[in-house]
């Protein structure tokens, strides 16, 4: 609960939490489960900048110690945190390789849809 900074809301029903509060709580629970693999699906798309920084600091702390499956469209954060990147297009694998190389292919996919 401490990581989420939601202690003062502990007596509220979860259904009354905002989406940002729910993400904070879910992230906090996930990292305290102490598993070897973390699945982060657009988890930082919601949340204020202070909480996002706290999460990024945590990612840096565990980098190389755990596997993070980081689902995101935020290419800058992918460059910071991902060694390898999987790019999908309509459910098919376009690339699964070093992040910068894979992101170049991701940009090609995006260009096809912008026409």
Please say if the pLDDT value at position 1 is more than 80.
no
Helix (H) or strand (E) holding 84: strand 84-89
In terms of pTM, does the model score above 0.75? no
Q: State both tokens at 38.
A: 């973390």
Q: How far apart are CA 68 and CA 106, in angstroms?
A: 20
Residues 60-97 pLDDT 10s: 888 888 888 888 888 998 898 889 999 999 999 999 99
Residues 17-69 pLDDT 10s: 988 888 889 889 988 888 899 888 887 776 778 888 888 898 888 888 888 88
**Is the torsion defined by CA of 32, 54, 43, 101 positive or negative?**
negative
> Any idea what DSSP says for residue 114?
H
């Amino acid at each position: 609960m401490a990581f989420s900074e939601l202690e003062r809301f502990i007596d509220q029903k979860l259904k009354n939490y905002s989406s940002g509060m729910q993400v904070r709580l879910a992230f906090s629970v996930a990292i305290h489960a102490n598993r070897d693999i973390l699945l982060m699906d657009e988890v930082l798309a919601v949340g204020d900048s202070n909480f996002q920084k706290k999460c990024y600091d945590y990612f840096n702390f565990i980098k190389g110690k755990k596997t993070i499956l980081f689902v995101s469209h935020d290419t800058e954060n992918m460059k910071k945190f991902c060694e390898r990147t999987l790019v999908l297009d309509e459910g098919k694998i376009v690339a699964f390789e070093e992040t910068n190389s894979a992101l170049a292919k991701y940009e090609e996919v995006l260009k096809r849809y912008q026409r």
